[in-house]
């Protein structure tokens, strides 16, 4: 119960920032919350279904590029039009990539997702027509003011959490956890495990797409660097830091990483080593991450 209250308080506090008008915090926390959406959606795969995917950043970037595409080439600006298009693009990509990747299991699955993420990265990086390594501007953003973008991100975060929590409480969500624990047993019980995994992959990918859409809205800038395996790796780091399989843990992990990256530079020039030490320490000594510290347990 206390956890619920704390989460509610945190959400309200974040929401209140929208009225502050502070240009820096609106942008900084907006970006951090986008990281939270990415972390939670990846946790659906990593923490609950047991699928370690390196393709997450690909869906994030695809949706962002889709926004740049429809706005710059087709002149669509209204979010009611652009949002569904970008969401569909990310979901469709997740469907295709998921279907192909799930033919492999274990570490091979991880590698196939890596392969697709890299292929998409090179597609955008090596094509001057798609902006190349310099990236593209979104000529006109769906919402103009920073505060409005912040509110949109905040709303998306809250809704994403509620949606994921709902899914995980439902029989489908329980089945996913069963698949993580022992897929063969689930299959022998009659569950279509591959289809279940694919659906989870698509949901996660679609949410990553939402995050990408919001990121392009906040900054108006898309770049292939958002699509590579390094970005995917960072999202995994946030899931680990926060504690996988808890849903709120990865969100905390994303916030923590954002703050460390921001303030770490003031502490030392070798701040990368700081993050490295933190990651290693958490893996070795705190396998359940921040959420493990909070004694939250494993339900969302």
Is residue 52 a contact point for another protein (CB under 8 A)? Answer: yes
Q: Applying CB under 8 A, which of residues 82, 193, 223, 246 lies at the interface with another protein? A: 223
The region that residue 220 occupies, defined by phi over 0 for left and psi between -120 and 50 for alpha, beta otherwise, is left
Shortest distance, position 52 Cβ to another protein, whole Å: 5
The secondary structure element, H or E, covering residue 2 is helix 2-16
Query: Contacts for 289-293 with beta carbons within 8 Å, 24 or more apart?
Result: 289/240, 289/241, 289/242, 289/243, 289/244, 289/246, 289/249, 289/253, 290/241, 290/242, 290/243, 290/249, 290/252, 290/253, 290/256, 291/242, 291/243, 291/246, 291/248, 291/249, 291/252, 292/243, 292/249
Shortest distance, position 26 Cβ to another protein, whole Å: 8
Shortest distance, position 137 Cβ to another protein, whole Å: 6
Q: What are phi and psi of 89, to 5 degrees?
A: -60, -45
Shortest distance, position 159 Cβ to another protein, whole Å: 24
Q: Do residues 223 and 134 touch, judged by C-beta distance below 8 A?
A: yes
Q: Where does 102-141 have alpha helices with state H? A: 106-125
Residues numbered 65 to 104 that lie near another protein (CB under 8 A) are 100, 103-104
Is residue 246 a contact point for another protein (CB under 8 A)? Answer: no
Shortest distance, position 161 Cβ to another protein, whole Å: 22
Give me Rg for the CA atoms of the chain: 19
Nearer Cβ to another protein, position 5 or 107?
Answer: 107
Q: Applying CB under 8 A, which of residues 118, 193, 217, 246 lies at the interface with another protein? A: 118
Residues numbered 161 to 220 that lie near another protein (CB under 8 A) are 218-220
Q: Do residues 186 and 178 touch, judged by C-beta distance below 8 A?
A: yes
Nearer Cβ to another protein, position 165 or 278?
Answer: 278
Is residue 130 a contact point for another protein (CB under 8 A)? Answer: no
Binding site for another protein (CB under 8 A): 22-24, 27-28, 31, 46, 52, 100, 103-108, 110-112, 114-116, 118-119, 122-123, 125-128, 132-135, 137, 144-145, 218-221, 223-226, 229, 231, 233, 236-237, 239-240, 244, 262, 265, 269-273, 275-280, 283-284, 287
């Amino acid at each position: 119960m206390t956890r619920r209250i704390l989460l509610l308080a945190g959400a309200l506090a974040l929401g209140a920032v929208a009225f502050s008008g502070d240009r820096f915090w609106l942008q900084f926390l907006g970006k951090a919350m986008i990281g939270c959406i990415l972390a939670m959606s990846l946790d659906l795969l990593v923490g609950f279904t047991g699928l370690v995917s390196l393709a997450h950043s690909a869906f994030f970037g695809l949706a962002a590029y889709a926004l740049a595409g429809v706005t710059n080439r087709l002149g669509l600006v209204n979010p009611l039009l652009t949002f569904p298009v970008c969401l569909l693009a990310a979901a469709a990509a997740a469907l295709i990539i998921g279907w192909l990747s799930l033919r492999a299991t274990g570490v091979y699955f991880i590698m196939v997702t890596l392969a697709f993420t890299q292929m998409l990265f090179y597609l955008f990086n090596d094509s001057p027509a798609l902006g190349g390594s310099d990236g593209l501007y979104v000529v006109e953003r769906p919402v103009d003011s920073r505060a409005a973008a912040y509110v949109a991100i905040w709303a998306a975060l809250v809704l994403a959490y509620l949606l994921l929590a709902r899914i995980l409480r439902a029989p489908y969500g329980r089945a996913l956890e069963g698949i993580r624990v022992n897929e063969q047993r689930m299959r022998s019980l009659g569950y279509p495990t591959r289809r279940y995994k694919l659906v989870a992959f698509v949901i996660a990918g679609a949410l990553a797409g939402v995050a990408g859409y919001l990121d392009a809205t906040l900054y108006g800038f898309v770049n292939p660097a958002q699509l590579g395996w390094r970005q995917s790796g960072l999202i995994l780091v946030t899931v680990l830091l926060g504690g996988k399989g808890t849903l709120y843990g990865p969100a905390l992990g994303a916030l923590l990483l954002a703050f460390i990256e921001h303030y770490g530079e003031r502490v030392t020039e070798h701040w990368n080593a700081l993050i490295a030490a933190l990651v290693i320490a958490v893996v070795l000594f705190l396998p359940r991450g921040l959420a493990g510290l909070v004694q939250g347990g494993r339900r969302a």
